[in-house]
Amino acid sequence: MSTKNGTDREPDRRRWLSVLAKAPAQDVIFAWEALPDRPAFTALRPPENGMVLVRGRMGGTGDAFNFGEMTVTRAAVRLETGETGVGYVAGRSHRHAEIAAAVDAMMQSANLRAAVEEAVIGRLEEAQLQRREVAARKAAATKVEFFTMVR
């Protein structure tokens, strides 16, 4: 069952799906609407809201624990050219999930990939890195060092 979706295990696909999932809905919709030619698509699975259990590890290395549940929205679409894509995104925006799925499908098309990578994925990823850096700097500024006196 992996002919058309042979990219399933590609780390690349993981990266762009992750970028689309974490980007704010407004940014994704804006980037989509700025695309010059957007292909028509049909919904294979109309957008639907649901929940996923988020697990974490203390310090990134400890035992896994259940962090809590978060709202996600998922969708699957097929482009008129035949590529299929999925979108799993944070939040409740149906439009966001649908666009993420369409972008995923476009990223699997050799013709569209480069343009979409630049106009959508690259831009969103850069914005995410910036936000992350700002947050990291703010957090670093409040860091308290605890010293233990050693004789």
Partner 1 sequence: MDAIAAQPGFSDPGRDSQKVFRVLMDAIARPGTLGKTPVALDPPAGLGAAAAAIGLALFDFETRVWLDDKIGSDEVAGWLRFHCGCPLTADPAQAHFALIGDFGSAPPLSAFMQGDPRYPDQSTTLVFEVPALAGGLPVEITGPGIRDAVVISPVGPDAQFWSAVQDNHEQFQCGVDLIFTAGEALMGLPRSSSVTPKEG
Contact set with partner 1 (CB under 8 A): 1-2, 4-5, 8, 42-46, 48, 76, 78, 84-86
The least CB distance from residue 121 to partner 1, in Å, is 18
Nearer to partner 1, 40 or 144 (CB): 40
Q: Tokens representing 21? A: 């999932």
Report the residue number, 12 or 118, with the smaller CB distance to partner 1.
Answer: 12
Q: Which is nearer to partner 1, 43 or 134 (CB)?
A: 43
CB of 78 to partner 1, least distance (A): 7
Give the span between the Cα atoms of 149 and 151, in whole angstroms: 6
Residue 18: count other Cβ atoms within 10 Å of its Cβ.
13
Residue 84 and residue 102 in contact, taking contact as beta carbons nearer than 8 Å: no
Kindly tell me which of 39 and 145 has the beta carbon lying closer to partner 1. 39
Coil/strand/helix, residue 7: coil
Give me the phi and psi of 133, to 5 degrees please.
-65, -40
Three-class DSSP category at 87: strand
| Shortest Å distance, C-beta 10 to partner 1 | 11
CB of 5 to partner 1, least distance (A): 6
Q: Return the ∠ at Cα 73 (arms to 94 and 27), rounded to 5°.
A: 60
